[in-house]
Amino acid sequence: MQFEYFINGGDFSKAGQASSQFKKVLQQLNVAPHTIKRIVVALYEAEVNIVAHAFKGKISIELQPDLVSMLLTDEGPGIPDIEKAMEVGYSTASPKVREMGFGAGMGLSNIKNNADLLEITSIVGKGTTLKISVNLSKQE
Amino acid sequence: MKVEDLIKTLSLTPFTGDIGTSRPVAGGYTGDLLSDVMGHSLAGQVWITLQTHKNVMAVASLRDLAAVIIVNGLKPNDDMLEQAAEENIPVLGTYESAFDVSGKLFKLLEK
């Protein structure tokens, strides 16, 4: 099954909607709660990153019986130093974004901790692509 | 213990009326950074925070939290309450600090 969601940069009123919609799909398919949690944490953080940093983005999700593959591509500033961005506490978020409790520099590590695979590619001045996979076979 | 028991025992303001007050409470998590709560809270916990915007409800819903308690007498934004109603997750208020209400909740749940 394929799913697509479009994200507008800067629109925090809709941040999390794609994750929420996809969570409902996973619940309807009776995916194990622990696995849903991992997928949703990773997807939400990646979705919020697009809202907080990019101009716009697209989420494409492929749902297979044993694997969820999520591809998030954005048009935005890109990440100059991915290794640095992965460090907990490192953030380039604006003060306004931080006031809301976002931009604490925990997003990418939350994704990494909950995903079975995370690949980040980025071109400065063009955008960033995240490939996130979570295995569905691990039942608790 | 249910959310309605917390409202009574801790004298909380039920900003969302009767919405979700029969939800069971499994514990609590205190924090104002959304990614911290996203990464560390557990389903069924009550979230204690000073954040008052609608993104709080997105996190609460995605993590299946039981309720949100807003501290220090702060009031939730209208769009937060609308989202809370949609998600059926109660938003409660207290004039106490996060430390005090967390301590009281911890004691209650120990019993």
Is the minimum CB–CB distance between B74 and chain A shorter than 8 Å? no
Confidence at residue A117, expressed as pLDDT on a 0 to 100 scale: 98
Q: Which fold has domain A2-135?
A: Heat Shock Protein 90 (3.30.565)
Q: Which residues of A touch B54 (CB under 8 A)?
A: 13
Q: How far apart are CA A61 and CA A56, in angstroms?
A: 17
Q: Which residues of A touch B84 (CB under 8 A)?
A: none
- Domain extent at residue B95: 3-110
Question: For chain B, what is the domain count?
Answer: 1
Collect all residues of chain B within an 8 Å Cβ-Cβ radius of residue A34: none
Is the C-alpha dihedral spanning B15, B19, B25, B29 positive or negative?
negative
Assess contact for A130 and A120: CB atoms under 8 A.
yes
* Candidates B35, B51, B79; nearest CB to A110: B35
Best to test chain B binding among A11, A20, A98, A114 (most B CBs inside 10 Å):
A20
CB atoms inside a 10 Å sphere around CB A84: 10
Distance in angstroms (rounded) separating the CA atoms of residues A38 and A36: 5
Chain CA centroid to CA B87, Å? 13
Q: pLDDT tens for residues A36-83?
A: 999 999 999 999 999 999 999 999 999 999 999 999 999 999 999 999
What is residue B87's predicted lDDT score, i.e. its pLDDT? Answer: 95
Q: Which two tokens stand for residue A16?
A: 């999390």
Minimum-distance CB partner of A100 among B38, B51, B62? B51
Model confidence at A139: pLDDT above 80:
no
CA distance A16 to A5: 11
What is the tens place of the pLDDT at every residue in A94-117? 999 999 999 999 999 999 999 999
B39 contacts A106? CB cut-off 8 A: yes
Find, among B74, B87, B80, B92, the residue nearest to B8 by Cα: B92
What pLDDT does residue A140 have? 45
Residue A90 pLDDT exceeds 80: yes
Residue spans per domain, chain A = 2-135
How does pLDDT run across B44-77, given as a tens digit for each residue? 999 999 999 999 999 999 999 999 999 999 999 9
Tell me the average pLDDT of chain B. 97
